[in-house]
Amino acid sequence: MRYLILVVEDNLMNRELLCDWLEAEGHEVQSAEDLRSARRLLKDRRPDGVLLDVQLGNEDGLSLAAWIRQQPELCHLPVIAVTAHAMVTEQQRFLQAGCNSCISKPLNFQLLSAELERWLSLKPKLPSVP
């Protein structure tokens, strides 16, 4: 069994690292480098979860989390913020913006795996591809 995960990350190296790790974990991955691309992907094919960089160049990634929460077909989609802004007050802001959880950079993949399992276990899974 696997999940479809949307990675929204403007930094190419970070995006590739997340995508490669998720694929190695057995997930299907879509990626976007900006808000416009992310919204298009979310409309084309609904993922099981989103890993969202909070700072996308000069764009605020949290606006995507807020937009997701306003869409009836997406409002229950798990969104995990991935950010270098690790202060507790910042994390609270991310949760208030619509993220389910927050993981700090540099990434602890064991913690990220636990958070994905926590939030994605509530969603139906895609069948495995042989």
- Mean pLDDT by runs of 10 across the 130 residues of the chain is 92 96 96 96 95 91 95 94 80 90 91 92 54
Domain boundaries in the chain? 4-120
CATH number of 4-120: 3.40.50.2300
What's the confidence (pLDDT) of residue 12?
Answer: 96
Q: Which helix (H) or strand (E) holds 11?
A: none
pLDDT of residue 14: 94
Q: How far apart are the first and last CA of the chain?
A: 10
Return the pLDDT at 122: 73
51: nearest Cα among 86, 83, 74:
83
Name the nearest CA neighbour of 112 among 83, 74, 90: 83
What does the pLDDT read at residue 88?
Answer: 74
